[in-house]
Structure 1
Amino acid sequence: MSSQVKYVNPKGCAPAQGLYSHIGTADGKLLFVAGQLSVGADGNVVGKNDFKAQFEQIFRNLGDVLRGMGGDFNNVVKFTTYFVHSQDIDLFMKLRAEYFPKWFKGAELPPNTLLVVDRLVKEDFLLEVEAIVHVA
């Protein structure tokens, strides 16, 4: 492995749900953020069967990761979002319309790829969001 490749778990982040780090980076500026899940600081699932509660926790966790690396949501280059139920897509879009203007400057938002999968690492998770981020 190159000495430039680093794996980071910023302080204040919810614990990873497996054998992985929250961030991988090759240059210290371009960050590949692992899929964030609805996990509280205690490691337990937040919002079982509640899509909105999980959405809020996931983006709270993502915000913690971004701040831990000296950034914020405006440093996001791209999102990838995973759902386990296609029926949640409309609610996701509504929540994005409600929350994103609070988190992002301006009207332009990062690209997002949306996928529906059979399940996530734990049955209780309804969605997962990963990001590519650039920090100065």
Structure 2
Amino acid sequence: MSQDAVQIKTQPDPYEPFNITQGFRVGDLVFVSGQAALTLEGEIVGVDDFDAQAQQAFHNLADVLAAAGSSLEQVVKVTIYLTDMSYFERVVALRERFFTPPWPADTLVEVSALALPELMIEVDAMAMVNGQTVPRS
């Protein structure tokens, strides 16, 4: 691995048992693995509760970004995986809550399942670091 790539992890790291890195900082960019409704101890939050899971996933994303020296305000690309596209309108509301215009580039995908059967949403992202922010209107 390049010396320019720095592994990002929270303490404790709920992804360590799965051999997944939470993210990497490469120069002035950070790449965050999919964040789901897990506590730092690896417990699932909000079984059968999409809103609770979504909130936890976005909070986890914010925590990993902060550990990398970034933030939600610096996100330039986000991918959101849903197990049911009927949650689309709620995702729009989540984007309004956690991001600001101009909105990050986005891919929204319905999948048949996520890593654990109870999970309903997963969010990954790319962001800038070093104090760079996306000009928001």
TM-score interval, normalised by the smaller of the two chains: 0.7 to 0.9
Residues 52 and 95 of structure 1 are in contact (CA less than 8 Å); yes or no, is this contact kept in structure 2?
A: no
TM-score after normalising by structure 2:
0.84
Matched, 1:15 2:9: no
- Residue of structure 2 equivalent to 1:38: 37
TM-score after normalising by structure 1:
0.85
Distance 1:125 1:6 in 2: 28
Segments of 4+ in structure 1 off by > 4 A?
Answer: none
- Residue of structure 1 equivalent to 2:56: 57
- Per-residue CA deviation, residues 54-94 of structure 1 (Å, 9 max, x unaligned), is 11101111111122122221111110000111111122223
Distance 1:74 1:96 in 2: 12
- Residue of structure 2 equivalent to 1:69: 68
- Residue of structure 2 equivalent to 1:134: 128
> Over aligned residue pairs, what C-alpha RMSD do you find?
1.8
Deviation at 1:14, TM superposition (A): 5.2
- Residue of structure 2 equivalent to 1:108: 102
Matches for 1:88-103 after TM superposition, within 5 Å: 88-97=87-96, 99-100=97-98
Query: Size of the alignment, in residue pairs?
Result: 129
Deviation at 1:15, TM superposition (A): 1.2
Deviation at 1:10, TM superposition (A): 3.5
Secondary structure of 2:18 counterpart = coil
Q: Unmatched 5+ residue regions in structure 2?
A: 131-137
Residues 14 and 39 of structure 1 are in contact (CA less than 8 Å); yes or no, is this contact kept in structure 2?
A: no
Name the % identity: 31
- Residue of structure 1 equivalent to 2:113: 119
Deviation at 1:42, TM superposition (A): 2.1
